[in-house]
Structure 1
């Protein structure tokens, strides 16, 4: 159990390292503490905090920096989210108040705004589409034995894939197949469409001699529609936190960001409104942390917004930003669906 004085010292060390990025010694710390204590007392308390694993020495410097355990304790016990300036809140609202053709545009914009406002990497996930239903498949001829198959859903989303038509298949046959499939799936939730597509295979085969590729095209479109859409913005901001000996870590982080499956696992929520993963929670070699917040769109479920940044990020600012953003994003999506359904 840390004493009040130890808590003040730990908090001051973390705040200093966040602002300056350098170790701090007892004399400098003495100037920053809200309480008056001698430099010797501070050194003793720092030694106690070091023994408990909350701070550590960096190289040969006499100063101290927070350890991962220290950051975790700070986030769990000492952190107080900052309240955003009214002008920042106004900027968020104004940006999200634009006209959008579909939900994906709103979710993608949220990542762009978060990245611009924090100078970190921002990630946004579209809410699960459990209540979205299929409005129908469409067929668009492209010429040169190719057609584009479109899937239109009730939330305004459109997925597509190009299909090459074998020479022995005619357009009227494909139109008949589209009508047949639409009879089976229109009005169904996305989660139920796959099962009905499988049931339709024998009937599709009566129109198309080799229907496997065509059915696979529908399956691929459906998979894209059901899968959570992830948007990443500000990847280049990683370079702002690079030190001369961190190139391999940066390569690892870039590689992680470029692997959607792994990144989706990293940001996966355990149900918390706001969650903080210090870097040893996912990959201790990266020296980065993830702060995420869930939001409710009032219609289809929960989405997620997150910030990926250095371990010594401004946690109070970031959490304050995410708190405001999740509220404004929820309001905007609720309003979008209300207008869309009218």
Structure 2
């Protein structure tokens, strides 16, 4: 552990550097309130450098934080800053409008958080496992194409155009819809997922001479419901995080940000309400100079969700911590109200 003075110096250096982007010297620290001589401050900075918490730049006598320094600061020195009332109002106004489905709320949350910070925001909705299938329809567009419409009790609506396998006639669609409605509607999505691989194939054999292509069609229809829907706001803000990156690096980063599976792995489950990962802790070489602040929330009876910020390692942690903490609470309230309205509507 650091001494109180060393902790104060490290905290002030990080707060100053994350605000100005400039190396911090002893004069700046004295002006910030460190009441010892410049020689003593320089000696303390040297000790912090020897502990790999600071890095001396080649261009001046000032220091900048290392990744280890940020980690120590986050673990021991960070004090969240209360969110300004103006930003609170922006969040509540953006989440206060009418939404048709849950995914719209999740998507809006990523867009708003990104716009407030100029960073990249990630939003992952409540767990898919607790949803139930409430409606399934197939609407013919022509003799080969249909629109499949799938609805869950949590307000999720999926619709997509599919091409029918050649061995299926359009008049057989009613049979397929009836099978799904009889066997799967009202069941949890986990049950739906299981029955599509066990009971449904046997049932289809009773009605069709061959099920070739039908099972693949069903699987493609329902797979979207089992994908964890992660929404990203501010993808292009990645350009600002690494101004010296070449085209290959940026293309790799942008491809990563468009990969739902990779992004979902980035947002690891955690018992704490707020989690901060820095540099190598993110587990991806592309993100070694970045940090992630992840906020988790839970809604009784409806699972867990996540809202997160991905930005440069020199982000103002105190401010971003407070913002993510407030945002996860506001989002939780909005989603809880939405679910309550759904439950009230279904009872009536």
Tell me which residue corresponds to 1:293. Answer: 295
Tell me how far 1:249 sits from its aligned partner. 4.8
- SS state at 2:141 partner: strand
* 1:80/1:316 contact within 8 Å kept: yes
- Determine if contact 1:121/1:233 at 8 Å carries over to the other structure: yes
Q: 1:166 to 1:112 in 2, by over 3 A?
A: closer
Q: Measure the CA separation in 1 of the matches of 2:119 and 2:88.
A: 18
Residue 215 of structure 1 deviates from its aligned partner by: 1.7
User: 1:178-203: per-residue Cα shift (whole Å, max 9, x none)?
Assistant: 10221111110001112222312122
Gaps of 5+ in 1: none
Residues 101/79 of structure 1: CA separation in 2 closer, same or farther (3 Å cut):
same
CA distance in 2, matches of 1:238, 1:187: 42
Say whether the 8 Å CA contact 1:299–1:337 is kept in structure 2. Answer: no
**What are the Cα deviations for residues 101-144 of structure 1, in whole angstroms up to 9, with x where unaligned?**
10000010000000000110000001102221111321100114
Tell me which moved more, 140-149 or 54-63: 54-63
Does the CA contact (< 8 Å) of 1:136 and 1:185 recur in 2? Answer: no
Q: Distance in 1 between matches of 2:163 and 2:316?
A: 52
The Cα shift of 1:38 comes to 0.7
Shift of 1:274: 0.4
CA distance in 2, matches of 1:23, 1:281: 24
- Map 1:254-333 → 2, pairs under 5 A: 254-282=254-282, 283=284, 286=287, 287-333=289-335
Contact 2:253 2:286 (8 Å CA) reproduced: no
- The answer for the alignment partner of 2:15 in structure 1 is 15
- Please report how far the alpha carbon of residue 246 of structure 1 lies from its aligned counterpart in structure 2 after TM superposition: 6.3
Distance 1:41 1:269 in 2: 43
Contact residue 295 and residue 304 of structure 1 kept, 8 A? yes
Question: Is the 8 Å Cα contact of residues 143 and 170 (structure 2) preserved in structure 1?
Answer: no
* SS across alignment from 1:312: coil
- Aligned partner of residue 200 in structure 1, secondary structure: helix
Distance between the aligned counterparts of 1:69 and 1:60, measured in 2?
21
The TM-score with structure 1 as length reference comes to: 0.94
CA contact (8 A) 2:129 2:190 kept: yes
Equivalences for residues 113-128 of structure 1 within 5 A: 113-128=112-127
Cα RMSD (Å) of the superposition? 1.8
Matched, 1:56 2:44: no
| Stretches (4+) displaced over 6 A | none
Alignment partner of 1:336 out of 335, 338, 342: 338
- The normalised TM-score by structure 2 is 0.92
CA separation of 1:201/1:97 partners in 2, compared to 1, >3 Å: closer, same or farther? same
Residues paired across the two proteins, number? 341
User: Deviations along 1:206-259, whole A, 9 cap, x unmatched?
Assistant: 333332322222222222112211000111112223333566654443232122
Q: Is the 8 A contact 2:17 2:23 kept in 1?
A: yes
Matched, 1:188 2:190: no
Counterpart in the other structure of 1:220: 220
Q: Aligned to 2:70, what secondary structure does the other structure show?
A: helix
Q: Which residues of structure 2 form unaligned runs of 5+?
A: none
Which whole-Å CA distance do the structure 1 matches of 2:167 and 2:222 have between them? 26
Q: What's the secondary structure of 1:130's corresponding residue?
A: helix
> Secondary structure at 2:129's aligned position in 1?
coil
2:229: which partner in 1? Answer: 229
In 1, Cα distance between the equivalents of 2:211 and 2:250?
46
Q: Is the 8 A contact 1:298 1:333 kept in 2?
A: no
